[in-house]
């Protein structure tokens, strides 16, 4: 995804989490996954802190739904949904969740 041209198709102000979790579908532990948002936690009302254990209610990655996760980092801000074409020539990815502002660079040439 690094260096790919993207179009922002959605933006949300929320609490944003970096988490580590064991996929419900098996496989190795996923460490420091960026990002899961507040609305994707089973308990959508309680803001989690670093070190807390949460249950994921997200399905944008395989094995995430219902997985127990440890919060590695918690920030408040805007997350974006983007459409992008990978730099390796693969087909366009639509509605990729989530990208934070510091992970994007404005295209000054509007290409």
For the whole model, what pTM was predicted? 0.90
Q: How many CB atoms lie within 10 A of CB 105?
A: 9
CA distance 22 to 12: 26
Judge contact between 67 and 23, C-beta under 8 A: yes
Q: Determine contact, residues 29/22, Cβ cutoff 8 Å.
A: yes
Q: If you ran DSSP here, which 8-state letter would residue 41 be given?
A: B
- For domain 6-103, the CATH class is mainly beta
Q: Which whole number is the average pLDDT over 14-43?
A: 98
The pLDDT tens digits for 54-90 are 999 999 899 999 999 999 999 999 999 999 999 999 9
């Amino acid at each position: 995804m690094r260096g790919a041209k993207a179009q922002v198709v959605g933006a949300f102000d929320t609490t944003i989490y970096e988490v580590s979790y064991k996929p419900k579908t098996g496989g190795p532990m996923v460490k420091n996954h960026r990002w899961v948002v507040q609305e994707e936690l089973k308990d959508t009302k309680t803001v989690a802190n670093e070190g807390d254990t949460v249950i994921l209610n997200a399905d944008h990655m395989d094995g995430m739904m219902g997985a127990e996760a440890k919060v590695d980092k918690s920030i408040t801000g805007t997350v974006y949904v983007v459409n992008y074409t990978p730099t390796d020539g693969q087909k366009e990815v639509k509605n990729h969740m989530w990208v934070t502002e510091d992970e994007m660079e404005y295209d000054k040439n509007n290409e």
